[in-house]
């Protein structure tokens, strides 16, 4: 579709982010000069091993934990699978998993597969959320049982940005001696995390959501937690994950974690202010629009807004003409026929779920870009509504 202007206004940072220039600089030598295998005996490879150590420390610093608790993986999805399957293998007699109805497919599909493939050997409790996307901790408390092998609750939701009380939930699990995993892929770099003080046993993160490259992730495993590897092979990662390291990406992720710590405040002040300006501007200038997700209990960068009676894919393609990038929870964008399971779990009516747009910002966004989006959106929605058979009754 022809782009009207060449500049891209990228507001889809929950999907993926750009590699920070500093990160790219840090990575470069590992493609060209420093290509040794960190497992090799020679100094040439050994130097690379030292760099990975440094990256491990950088990640540990951001999470407030120790380097030996950090395992590099190939992505957030691998980290999620590794944690949950490790718990199930550690406790083969326990057959119950607690999770939520709003997890990313990385956890959601794994749990569905565990139910189906094993012929319901595993029982999965999926905690409900209310209309603002929040969990009911009493329901959670009641679900914890002797049979529970692991709890897996995301730290922040990728679609709405809603943040979950994982600190408290982990404490509750700990009291019952139940392992706790959190998919923190969307939270790391956006909210302060200090694992040293928490009862979280496993935490997943993914490089490409915090300005490191795609295809690298981390699984944090609390010291003393039983661990069964997912990928077996060589003795890389202290025997926790076989496979020659994705060196350059690991170096990049380390640098990205360092940058994230430096920019945490900017993210929570400037980016949040931009998000708020965008959100309030849209809600004000476009009738029959509403926010999805709790107003304050939320990541600073995410705005999920429903424009009633129009369909998300159509909205996105109109935005695309202006090179504005965002996502939608509509059925048509996903290739499935049903709208986002997250919005459905929140009870967002169909009229609104199909027309939901997620804007997710980063430190690279500017106020000028927000103004540009605010200028373009009302006409886009109005033109589609003019076409909608459901609109006239409101209009």
Ligand X SMILES: Cc1ncc(COP(=O)(O)O)c(C=O)c1O
Catalytic residues: 332
**Closest approach of ligand X to the CB of residue 387, in Å:** 32
359-388: contacts with another protein (CB under 8 A): 386-388
Consecutive H or E run containing 26: helix 21-27
> Contact 80/142 with Cβ under 8 angstroms?
no
Nearer to ligand X by Cβ, of 181 and 263: the residue is: 181
Of these partners, ligand X, another protein, none, which one is at the site of residue 217 (CB under 5 to 8 Å by kind)?
ligand X
Classify 300 in phi/psi space as left (phi over 0), alpha (psi -120 to 50) or beta. Answer: alpha
Nearer to ligand X by Cβ, of 154 and 324: the residue is: 154
> Which residues contact ligand X by CB under 6 A?
75-77, 104, 106, 154, 158, 183, 185-186, 206, 217
Q: Single out the segment in contact with another protein by CB under 8 A; choices: 140-148, 183-191, 230-238, 317-325.
A: 317-325
Of these partners, another protein, ligand X, none, which one is at the site of residue 331 (CB under 5 to 8 Å by kind)?
another protein
Please pick, from the candidates 122, 354, 358, 362, the single residue that binds another protein as defined by CB under 8 A: 354
Is 139 a binder of another protein (CB under 8 A)?
no
Please pick, from the candidates 41, 92, 296, 393, the single residue that binds another protein as defined by CB under 8 A: 393
> Contact 9/372 with Cβ under 8 angstroms?
yes
Of these partners, ligand X, another protein, none, which one is at the site of residue 295 (CB under 5 to 8 Å by kind)?
none
Q: Single out the segment in contact with another protein by CB under 8 A; choices: 21-29, 162-170, 269-277, 335-343.
A: 335-343
Is 138 a binder of another protein (CB under 8 A)?
no
**Closest approach of another protein to the CB of residue 180, in Å:** 29
Of these partners, another protein, ligand X, none, which one is at the site of residue 84 (CB under 5 to 8 Å by kind)?
none
Is 331 a binder of another protein (CB under 8 A)?
yes
SS3 track for the chain: CCCCCCCCEECECCCCCCCCHHHHHHHCHHHHCCCCCCCCCCHHHHHHHHHHHHHHHHHHHHHCCCHHHEEEECCHHHHHHHHHHHHHHHCCCCCEEEEECCCCHHHHHHHHHHHHHCCCCCEEEEECECCCCCECHHHHHHHCCCCEEEEECCCECCCCCEECCHHHHHHHHHHCCCEEEEECCCCECCECCCHHHCCCCEEEEEHHHCCCCCCCEEEEECCCCCCCCCCCCCCCHHHCCCCCCCHHHHHHHHHHHHHHHHHHHHHHHHHHHHHHHHHHHHHHHCCCEEECCCCCCECCCEEEEEECCCCHHHHHHHHHHCCEECEECCHHHHCCCCCCHHHHHCCCCHHHHCCEEEEECCCCCCHHHHHHHHHHHHHHHHHHHHHCCCCCCCC
Of these partners, ligand X, another protein, none, which one is at the site of residue 23 (CB under 5 to 8 Å by kind)?
none
**Closest approach of another protein to the CB of residue 312, in Å:** 8
Please pick, from the candidates 64, 105, 233, 349, the single residue that binds another protein as defined by CB under 8 A: 349
**Closest approach of ligand X to the CB of residue 181, in Å:** 12
Of these partners, ligand X, another protein, none, which one is at the site of residue 245 (CB under 5 to 8 Å by kind)?
none
CA dist 218 and 113 (Å) reads 23
Direct distance between the N- and C-terminal alpha carbons of the chain, in angstroms, rounded to an integer: 30
Of these partners, another protein, ligand X, none, which one is at the site of residue 310 (CB under 5 to 8 Å by kind)?
another protein
Nearer to ligand X by Cβ, of 12 and 308: the residue is: 12
Nearer to another protein by Cβ, of 133 and 207: the residue is: 133
Cβ-closest residue to ligand X? 76
CA dist 62 and 364 (Å) reads 20
Is 317 a binder of another protein (CB under 8 A)?
yes
Nearer to ligand X by Cβ, of 212 and 310: the residue is: 212
**Closest approach of another protein to the CB of residue 285, in Å:** 21
Is 15 a binder of another protein (CB under 8 A)?
no
Q: Find the Cα–Cα–Cα–Cα dihedral 18, 24, 26, 32, rounded to 10°.
A: 150
Nearer to ligand X by Cβ, of 183 and 237: the residue is: 183
Residues contributing to the site for another protein (CB under 8 A): 1, 309-314, 317-318, 321, 330-333, 335-339, 347, 349-351, 354, 386-390, 392-393
């Amino acid at each position: 579709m022809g782009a009207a202007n060449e500049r891209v206004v990228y507001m889809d940072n929950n999907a993926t982010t750009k590699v920070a220039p500093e990160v790219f600089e840090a990575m470069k030598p590992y493609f060209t000069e420093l290509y040794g295998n960190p497992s090799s005996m020679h100094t040439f490879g050994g130097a690379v091993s030292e760099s990975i150590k440094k990256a491990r420390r950088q990640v540990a610093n951001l999470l407030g934990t120790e380097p030996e608790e950090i395992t590099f993986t190939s992505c957030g999805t691998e980290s999620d699978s590794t944690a949950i399957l490790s718990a199930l293998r550690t406790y083969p007699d326990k057959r119950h998993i607690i999770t939520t109805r709003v997890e990313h497919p990385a956890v959601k599909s794994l749990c569905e597969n565990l139910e189906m493939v094993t012929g319901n050997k595993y029982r999965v409790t999926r905690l409900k959320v209310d209309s603002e996307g929040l969990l009911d901790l009493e329901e959670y408390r009641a679900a914890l049982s002797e049979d529970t092998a692991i709890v897996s609750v995301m730290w922040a939701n990728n679609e709405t940005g809603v943040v979950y009380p994982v600190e408290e939930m982990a404490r509750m699990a700990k009291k019952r001696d139940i392992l706790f995993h959190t998919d923190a892929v969307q939270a790391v770099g956006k909210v302060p995390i200090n694992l040293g003080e928490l009862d979280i046993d496993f935490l997943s993160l993914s490089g490409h959501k915090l300005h490191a490259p795609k295809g690298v992730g981390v699984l944090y495993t609390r010291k003393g937690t039983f661990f069964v590897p997912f990928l077996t092979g060589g003795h890389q990662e202290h025997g926790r994950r076989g496979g020659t390291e994705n060196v350059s990406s690991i170096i990049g992720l380390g640098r990205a974690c360092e940058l994230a710590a430096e920019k945490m405040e900017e993210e929570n002040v400037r980016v949040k202010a931009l998000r708020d300006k965008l959100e309030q501007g849209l809600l004000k200038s476009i009738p029959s629009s509403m926010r999805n997700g709790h107003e304050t209990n939320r990541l600073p960068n995410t705005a999920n807004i429903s424009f009633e009676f129009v369909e998300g894919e159509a909205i996105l393609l109109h935005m695309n003409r202006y090179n504005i990038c965002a996502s939608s929870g509509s059925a048509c964008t996903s290739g499935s026929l049903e709208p986002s399971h997250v919005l459905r779990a929140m009870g967002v009516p169909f009229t609104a779920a199909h027309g939901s747009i997620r804007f997710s910002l980063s430190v690279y966004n500017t106020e000028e870009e927000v103004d540009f989006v605010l200028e373009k959106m009302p006409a886009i929605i109005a033109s589609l509504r003019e076409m909608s058979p459901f609109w006239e009754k409101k209009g």
